Structure 1
Amino acid sequence: MNKQSEQPWKQSYPPGLEWELQAIDQPAHSIFEKSARQYPERPCLDFLGAKYTYAEIARLIDRFARGLQDTGVKKGERIGLCLPNSPYYVIAYFAALKIGAIVVNFNILYTAREIAQQIDDSRVKLVITLDLKFIFNKIRPALDDKSIEAIIYCPLAEALPPVKKYLLKYFRFYQFVHPAPAGNLFSYAQMISSDKAPDRVNINPSEDIALFQYTGGTTGMPKAAMLTHSNLVSNTEQVNLWLQQGDKLEGQERFLAVLPFFHVFSMTVAMNLGLRFGAEIYLLPRFEIKQCLQTLSENGITVFPGVPSIFNAINRYPKRKNYDLSALRYGISGGAALPAEVKQEFEASTHCLLVEGYGLSEASPVITCNPAHNAGKTGSIGLPLPGTRVEFRAIDDINKTEVPGEIGQLLAKGPQVMQGYWNRAEDNAKTLLDDKWLSTGDVGYMDAEGYIFLTDRLKDIIITNGYNVYPRHIEEAFYQHADVEEVIAVGVPDEDKGEVPKVFVKLKSGRNTSDRELLEFVEDKLNPIEIPDSIEIRDELPLTLIGKPSKKALLEEVAKQEEATKQTKEEDKS
């Protein structure tokens, strides 16, 4: 087999971009510091109207790093960040990395039980959070039972412009905690009170862990992917090189960060990449359609990372045409499959390029992306990033490599791939194969030009009468119907066939297509074993915390219904 057939993506690479790339052995805080030196007076962050320059954020990072060291944080100790998108997240993240601590991201929407489980698993020394009751009060029990040594609380109002600060403090007073600083409760002001430079810490980028990024936990307890400094820097540079081919304007871009930084896609593609660009990043603490469109329109946002549900929401918004999105040059979609109809409609209405990428927490996260210099291929997750190898192995034999065009399970290898899971030897053996190939759990194929197409998650495949049925193929057929807004296909138990497909559909506003009409529409687009056994139309479909369709939630519903049916049958027999 020649090199071209082994690595067919090379023939499709953007002109002038070399595929070969070695791991970049630099500490992760260098991502920010390079731009801070180059663009000290350029706006760095905008938080609901409050602006900070690169020089100001650099100074606050150094002060916070000093504060962490003064509280006793040492290299290798774990620091929890339970923060929404805000200047505090950026400051705490890079301050912790600068002193060699390990950042542990916490989802602010987790329950107190879930937060306690992650604290116990990660063994964090302290947690940095906001003074909002709904977050702070879920962390405080861990301090009381000595699971953590300290909490650092940051005042939300102090990060806002004067008018918003006043309104928040005086009209939402009841939503905040007001703790007095104590031996194990530190205020943000205390942390930045010293102007003494932080002590220099020697970091080995290829070995030292920078981040514990917990996976979504679709099965069992979430696991912490251990990402090194080199993993984070390399992945940021891989995406940077990729987007350079699309006429990137370094030092002039304006990013919108509405996806939470505690999610690895946003952390890398919105925060780290934006800072690497020397961009101004507009921070929104949550997605709200009107606020999002106003921010895009009023500030001339040029780069917009998002998930398909956000781009679809913009497509569907009745007053979309009231907002000027002409400055937008790139949308970057990740986190879930991007339906072709969503991509086409968003590009047609905004005249920007919406590129789909693919990755997972275990790879920092980006593995592939469609080219930024052209449209790529519809339905594809793109080409492997520089320095990244992708192979497809047989579904029933992980050691057999499939040729282009054959469906298999996707494996990836590159400088962005994790060191392993924290304290999960058995999972590491299943996920990190010989020579550090990462088994992604996704199924798909590579075409002759090196473009990669996913058909499904390995665990989501529906096995009907011994045949593999791919839910994504079913979903794409339904998305072709003009009345369909969202689709989720899952496998449900069947006594005769083992499993059969069931489809859940959300229709566009004001549409009233029936399940029978939908079935008739897809009959010539699916083969007989793919035809769903049933279709359920709902007003809303469940989403994950970042807006991805949640098959897990629907499968849990199906399991409960099956259990209830089984119990009813047993009661009838008795």
Structure 2
Amino acid sequence: MQTIEDKDAEAARRPWLASYPEGIAWDVEVDVRPVHEQVLAACAKTPDAVALDFLGGKTTFGDMAKAITALAGALQSQFGIGKGSRVALLLPNTPFYPVAYYAVLRAGGIVVNCNPLYTVHELSHIADNAGADLMITLDLKMIFEKAEALVEKGLVKSLVVCRFTDALPPVKRVLFSLAKRKDLADPRRSRIAGKVSHYHELVARNQEPKPVAIDPHADVAVQQYTGGTTGLPKGAMLSHANVAANMSQIDKWGCGLFYPPSKVVAVLPFFHIFAMTVCMNVPLCNGAQVVMLPRFEMKALVDLLKRTRANVLPAVPTLLAALAKADNVKAEGLASLQVAISGGAPLPNEVRAAFSKKSKALLAEGYGLTEASPVVCCAALRVPSKPMSIGLPLPATDIRFVDVDSHQPVGIGENGELQVKGPQVMLGYYENPEANAEAFMDGWLRTGDVGHMDEDGYVFLVDRIKDLIICSGFNVYPRVIEEALAEHPAVDEVNVIGVPDEYRGEAPIAFVKPATGQSATEAELKTFLAAKLNKIEMPREIIFKDALPKTLIGKLSKKELREEYAQLKAKSREQA
């Protein structure tokens, strides 16, 4: 029994407990059953319910279970997949992805997610580092040719190829075959045809897989590669318990949101950790329907919402901004949405405001990272939270902020590096002891993000440590400048980087994409900023661009801007 002193100590250590929404407890027991066991149990419970909707083509839970089981059996018998085997998935959002994902886990293997939009060079590093002998992919030419190249380079031994048209409803299947035939590869005529097996043939065998004893806490389920913005991507090893724990935490935080009759939109790609967990694992394990798009297209997304009446939309800020600003997207097109969850990047206040004018959905910002499976904090999903906050730590999750230099814990309201403990935190990076040593401090996962907690336990992020700009010895946070510039009506998107400066050491440079039909000069924007920023924070230059580089999930990217600016300066020095 807790004493008053114990309760006071816990409140001081975890100030967010007092702000938890009614009905949610922090000190809960999380479910760590392997995700494939949970999804197969959901399939057995409601076999006739629709699990997946892909462009109008529907897959029931019962049919999905049959495909998972049959593919798992074929993976074991034909390819020897078992405990510790790594299988790469090079797939966009289609029904093949969840089937392949759960089948690999059921066979005892480890999923290695690969982005189909990556170059062969980028994929080569992942395939080589992971040692994935088998890759499951699609017969769309732009994807298959990359997988083919990996086999030819000796980085992958065998391919399992899915026929894209099999995922389409009958009418669309015929139309695609007629109008888009040139977009399809013919694996049987490939230079590596002897190393290609066909998904539909493997599943048709209906082989029963052998049982596999899984230790949820020790056995790796997913080897998820980080974005590599500061170097080569690292493979974060997420155990079965890590993945399942985060599902359980999100499930409890959602208070029933991810159960039928909810329908969750999966426009974010499953190969990304956010979508893998929030768009796929959580709803499917709860028997809720997932409605998919292979990629983001405005009209396709709005049509999907009208057709399916989906009510939950996990998204990135750029997607929400596009919906909010699109003149041809009306409020009635978004009327079915009850909750939109923003993640993957900071949610600008102007995007929040613009989206709220078009949709009555509760817009909740969350925060996570690959190494935490991924969700760490989230705003409440049923009631409003403090604006500009990433919410509260999830159940069973502890966080702290430590001084960037001294590494000592900081007080309420003081900025420091966010660090995390919880059952969702990874085992470590694959074969990378140096990165592992850097990733943890006294058993806490270092996020590399700077922020603070207020007196109510709400978490606010300021910026990334690696993006911090040191001007004349003072800390300048790019996000502060970006938020200020974004308030100007002529600014559509903005990204700020730090560059070398002879006088100040470093200086901020702002890149701006003008809003459609708007214009502003550098001088006008600096005048606008004068009342919002101090002199040290004022950008040295403001550079206008027609488009700003983004990562493959739509997050504004600083890496390309740093490279571009360095090249511009090198060229100007040569000309001088």
Q: TM-score, normalised by structure 1?
A: 0.96
Counting only pairs closer than 5 Å after superposition, residues 257-336 of structure 1 correspond to structure 2 as: 257-321=266-330, 323-336=332-345
Q: Deviation per CA, 1:501-548: give whole Å up to 9, x if none.
A: 111112221112322222212211111211111112222111111100
Moved over 6 A (4+): none
Q: Bigger CA drift: 402-411 or 318-327?
A: 318-327
* Structure 2: distance between partners of 1:567 and 1:5: 58
The equivalent of 1:144 in structure 2 is 152
Q: Bigger CA drift: 225-234 or 501-510?
A: 501-510
Kindly indicate whether residue 550 of structure 2 is the aligned counterpart of residue 533 of structure 1.
no
Q: Deviation per CA, 1:141-177: give whole Å up to 9, x if none.
A: 3323432221000000111011111122222222222
Structure 2 residue corresponding to 1:519, chosen from 515, 523, 526:
526
The equivalent of 2:119 in structure 1 is 111
Structure 1 residue corresponding to 2:131, chosen from 117, 120, 123:
123
Structure 1 residue corresponding to 2:204, chosen from 190, 193, 199:
193
Q: Deviation per CA, 1:282-302: give whole Å up to 9, x if none.
A: 110100111111111222110
- Aligned to 1:472, what secondary structure does the other structure show? helix
Deviation (angstroms), 1:18: 0.9
Residues 506 and 337 of structure 1, relative CA distance in 2, 3 Å threshold:
same
Kindly indicate whether residue 375 of structure 2 is the aligned counterpart of residue 340 of structure 1.
no
* Structure 2: distance between partners of 1:513 and 1:34: 58
8 Å contact from structure 1 (residues 293, 323) kept in 2: no
Gaps of 5+ in 2: 1-7
Deviation (angstroms), 1:568: 4.1
8 Å contact from structure 1 (residues 67, 190) kept in 2: no
Kindly indicate whether residue 251 of structure 2 is the aligned counterpart of residue 228 of structure 1.
no
- Aligned to 2:489, what secondary structure does the other structure show? coil
- Aligned to 2:448, what secondary structure does the other structure show? strand
* Structure 1: distance between partners of 2:207 and 2:556: 48
8 Å contact from structure 2 (residues 254, 381) kept in 1: yes
Q: Bigger CA drift: 5-14 or 174-183?
A: 174-183
8 Å contact from structure 1 (residues 82, 107) kept in 2: yes
The equivalent of 2:381 in structure 1 is 372
* Structure 2: distance between partners of 1:419 and 1:503: 38
* Structure 2: distance between partners of 1:122 and 1:22: 32
Aligned amino acid, residue 164 of structure 1: K
Counting only pairs closer than 5 Å after superposition, residues 47-446 of structure 1 correspond to structure 2 as: 47-71=54-78, 72-180=80-188, 183-244=194-255, 248=257, 250-321=259-330, 323-398=332-407, 400-435=408-443, 437-446=444-453
Q: Bigger CA drift: 308-317 or 17-26?
A: 17-26
Q: Deviation per CA, 1:476-507: give whole Å up to 9, x if none.
A: 11122233221111112211111111111122
Percent of pairs identical after alignment? 43
Gaps of 5+ in 1: 570-574
The equivalent of 1:572 in structure 2 is none
* Structure 1: distance between partners of 2:119 and 2:323: 29
* Structure 2: distance between partners of 1:325 and 1:429: 46
Aligned amino acid, residue 26 of structure 1: R
8 Å contact from structure 1 (residues 334, 356) kept in 2: yes
* Structure 2: distance between partners of 1:172 and 1:346: 35
- Aligned to 2:330, what secondary structure does the other structure show? helix
Kindly indicate whether residue 37 of structure 2 is the aligned counterpart of residue 30 of structure 1.
yes
- Aligned to 1:404, what secondary structure does the other structure show? coil
The equivalent of 2:3 in structure 1 is none
8 Å contact from structure 2 (residues 220, 240) kept in 1: yes
Q: TM-score, normalised by structure 2?
A: 0.95
Deviation (angstroms), 1:378: 1.1
8 Å contact from structure 2 (residues 379, 392) kept in 1: yes
Deviation (angstroms), 1:119: 0.8
Deviation (angstroms), 1:198: 1.1
- Aligned to 2:314, what secondary structure does the other structure show? strand
Structure 1 vs Structure 2 CA RMSD: 1.5
8 Å contact from structure 2 (residues 30, 249) kept in 1: no
* Structure 1: distance between partners of 2:467 and 2:415: 15
Q: Bigger CA drift: 131-140 or 316-325?
A: 316-325
Deviation (angstroms), 1:132: 1.3
* Structure 2: distance between partners of 1:274 and 1:146: 37
Deviation (angstroms), 1:220: 1.2
8 Å contact from structure 2 (residues 81, 108) kept in 1: no
Q: Bigger CA drift: 92-101 or 478-487?
A: 478-487
Deviation (angstroms), 1:276: 2.9
Aligned amino acid, residue 540 of structure 1: A
* Structure 2: distance between partners of 1:522 and 1:154: 53
Aligned amino acid, residue 268 of structure 1: T
8 Å contact from structure 1 (residues 131, 156) kept in 2: yes
Aligned amino acid, residue 141 of structure 1: A
* Structure 1: distance between partners of 2:32 and 2:379: 26
